[in-house]
Amino acid sequence: MRVLQLPGSPQFAHSGCGPLIAPLTDSLRPMRQQVFDRVRALGLISRAQVAKDLGVSPASVTAISSELLDEGLIEEVTLPRESDLGRGRPAVAMGVCGRAHRVAGMKLSDREHTAVITDFAGRMLAEDSISRDTQASSLPEMLDAVERLLDRVCLKAGLSRRDLSGIGIGLPGFVDHVQGMVLWSSVLTDRNLPFAAALQSRIGLPVAIDNDANLVALAELWFGTGRSRPDFAVVTIEHGLGMGFVMNHHIYRGAQRLGMELGHTKVQLDGALCRCGQRGCLEAYVADYALAREAVTALNLNSRLTPSVPVLLETLFQSAREGNTTARAIFRRAGRYLALGLANVVNLFDPALIILSGERMRYDYLYAEETLSEMADLVINSGRPCPPVEIHAWGDMLWAQGAAALALNVLSERILTGLTRAERKLVSTHSDA
């Protein structure tokens, strides 16, 4: 089954953000954090409803919420009356205080860098982007670009860097979220870079980094279809092919934080050369550069006059739509490899949902009915249906929103669980400076 959604970015008012964890299923985290996350997820909620959802006494919720109110992390909102009689006290709900903190999220990619700024409640305040050439950058060059884009998006939001409480960054490649290391990325010339520490030293803000596909999954978990699903997979197709996997409402990264590299699973021994340096990777048959490589030969293009990859892919796609059998065969071959990769995801993880995301989702040949049918044929025959497949053709701003969600998540955990009350006041003072 395929569900097509229009491109665009979700808008958030008081609808809340973050995982909608089923009540009474999350008892391991501190109650203070559970109360705050419940308020943030629901957008607006009464104390009585929080107590009911979490299975605790109203007095406990009142005590915790009073502390959160004192610290300026949540606020009370008077709800409109259901009638015009004006009798009795108006209902009061709690919501996250958006102005308490603001964070930036940024996606660094092969062709452009995108950035957003959101408030503490997850509402987007500004967005911006800058283009770049396709050549990999040195670390200082990349830090310069991040700094330039950060200042631009802050200006759009009417803020300065001092108004931010943190920044999240998504990069393609092998990224260790915990150590803040970029082991390899197509956008950087060097390996094993302490990227988070270097950027934090440069801009004077807490920095969290992650693989960009993980952040698309995080965007879906915080703002999209995945909010109410404990387990789902996101497969991204852009210049590379990535995957993010959510398990029990959390991003699963593996023991060394480098898992879920679907694009670098092998589908052909001694096969096509992948940009990671190995051969036979799934990415080398499905991603942008793989299709472009095939198109140069199929369309009889002069290698010296080959257009840019985006132009080349648009030409290939248009040729396929006009009936060019060779162009159609290129997409069909890529679709078959994609079906193989998706079937392996189902056989390994049994997700409740697979989301195909990225700009390449405009190329519907990649997920034509025969592709999804072939995926079903390759899945273990258990007598049960395959998970649904949804197509989300979001642009890079969603990836940046996922990076902002990463910054919000790290910030929230630090405030709610990692610091004493005195230390939390210092964080709050810094954010208001």
Which of 99, 128, 161 is a domain's end point?
Answer: 99
pLDDT for the residue 431: 42
Nearest partner of 396 among 51, 2, 1, 8, judged by Cα: 8
Compute the distance between CA of residue 152 and CA of residue 145 in angstroms, rounded to an integer. Answer: 11
User: Would you say residue 416 has pLDDT above 80?
Assistant: yes
Compute the distance between CA of residue 238 and CA of residue 407 in angstroms, rounded to an integer. Answer: 23
Q: List, in order, residues 6 or more apart from 66 with CB less than 8 Å away.
A: none
pLDDT for the residue 293: 85
State the average pLDDT over residues 166-184.
96
| Tokens 């040949």 sit on residue | 365
Nearest partner of 429 among 178, 209, 100, judged by Cα: 100
State the average pLDDT over residues 15-41.
86
| Of the candidate ranges 53-62, 293-302, 326-335, the one whose mean pLDDT is the lowest | 293-302
State the average pLDDT over residues 145-174.
97
Q: 116, exposed or middle or buried, with CB in 10 Å at 0-12, 13-18, 19+?
A: buried
Question: What is the share, in percent, of the chain residues with pLDDT greater than 70?
Answer: 88
Residues 343 and 231 in one domain: yes
State the average pLDDT over residues 402-420.
87
CA separation, residue 336 to residues 240, 365, 376 (Å): 17, 10, 12
Residues 275 and 291 in one domain: yes
| Tokens 């989300």 sit on residue | 392
Residues 246 and 388 in one domain: yes
pLDDT for the residue 8: 36
Which of 60, 75, 99 is a domain's end point?
Answer: 99
Nearest partner of 122 among 19, 50, 23, judged by Cα: 19
Q: Token digits for 309?
A: 């990859």
Which of the residue ranges 80-84, 90-94, 162-166 has the most confident prediction, judged by mean pLDDT? 162-166
Within-domain flag for 5: no
User: Collapsing DSSP states into helix, strand and coil, what is residue 266?
Assistant: strand
Compute the distance between CA of residue 376 and CA of residue 98 in angstroms, rounded to an integer. Answer: 44
As for how many domains the chain has, the answer is 3
Residues 124 and 273 in one domain: no
Residues 285 and 380 in one domain: yes
Q: Which CATH number is 69's domain given?
A: 1.10.10.10
Within-domain flag for 30: yes
Compute the distance between CA of residue 287 and CA of residue 142 in angstroms, rounded to an integer. Answer: 23
Q: Which CATH number is 313's domain given?
A: 3.30.420.40
pLDDT for the residue 167: 98
Residues 230 and 124 in one domain: no
Band of residue 273 on the pLDDT scale cut at 50, 70, 90: very high
CA separation, residue 209 to residues 25, 178, 223 (Å): 29, 8, 19
| Tokens 């991204």 sit on residue | 236
Band of residue 305 on the pLDDT scale cut at 50, 70, 90: low
Sign of CA dihedral 169, 117, 358, 250: positive
Half-sphere exposure of 11 (CA within 13 A, CB side): 2
pLDDT for the residue 302: 63
| Of the candidate ranges 17-31, 59-73, 150-164, 313-327, the one whose mean pLDDT is the lowest | 17-31
Band of residue 4 on the pLDDT scale cut at 50, 70, 90: very low
pLDDT for the residue 88: 57
Q: Token digits for 376?
A: 């079903």
Within-domain flag for 1: no
Neighbours of 238 (CB within 10 A): 22
pLDDT for the residue 81: 62
pLDDT for the residue 400: 94
User: Would you say residue 134 has pLDDT above 90?
Assistant: no
Compute the distance between CA of residue 344 and CA of residue 378 in angstroms, rounded to an integer. Answer: 8
Residues 341 and 425 in one domain: no
pLDDT for the residue 85: 52
pLDDT for the residue 48: 94
Q: Are strands 241-247 and 232-237 parallel, antiparallel or unpaired?
A: antiparallel
Q: How does pLDDT run across 343-370, given as a tens digit for each residue?
A: 999 999 999 999 998 777 777 777 778 8
Question: Residue 107 forms beta bridges with which residues?
Answer: 114, 170
| Tokens 């903190």 sit on residue | 101
Mean pLDDT of the chain: 87
User: Would you say residue 90 has pLDDT above 90?
Assistant: no
User: Would you say residue 166 has pLDDT above 70?
Assistant: yes
| Rounded to 5°, angle at Cα 53 from 48 and 57 | 55
User: Collapsing DSSP states into helix, strand and coil, what is residue 11?
Assistant: coil
Within-domain flag for 321: yes
Residues 241 and 277 in one domain: yes
pLDDT for the residue 13: 43
Residues 73 and 129 in one domain: no
Nearest partner of 23 among 56, 51, 53, 67, judged by Cα: 53
Residues 207 and 236 in one domain: no
Question: What is the share, in percent, of the chain residues with pLDDT greater than 90?
Answer: 64
Within-domain flag for 203: yes
Residues 110 and 197 in one domain: yes
Sign of CA dihedral 154, 158, 161, 163: negative
Within-domain flag for 138: yes
Within-domain flag for 113: yes
User: Would you say residue 206 has pLDDT above 70?
Assistant: yes
| Rounded to 5°, angle at Cα 425 from 422 and 429 | 145
- Phi, psi at 51, each rounded to 5°: -60, -40
Q: How does pLDDT run across 233-260, given as a tens digit for each residue?
A: 999 988 889 999 999 999 999 999 989 9
Band of residue 111 on the pLDDT scale cut at 50, 70, 90: confident
User: Would you say residue 421 has pLDDT above 50?
Assistant: no
Do residues 256 and 176 make contact, with C-beta atoms less than 8 angstroms apart? yes
Nearest partner of 114 among 293, 13, 238, judged by Cα: 238
Longest Cα pair distance anywhere in the chain, in angstroms?
A: 79
State the average pLDDT over residues 200-221.
96
Which of 54, 76, 99 is a domain's end point?
Answer: 99
Compute the distance between CA of residue 422 and CA of residue 430 in angstroms, rounded to an integer. Answer: 13
Band of residue 304 on the pLDDT scale cut at 50, 70, 90: low
State the average pLDDT over residues 102-128.
95
What is the domain extent for residue 86? 12-99
State the average pLDDT over residues 368-389.
90
Residues 271 and 405 in one domain: no
Within-domain flag for 33: yes
First-last CA distance in the chain:
51
pLDDT for the residue 79: 77
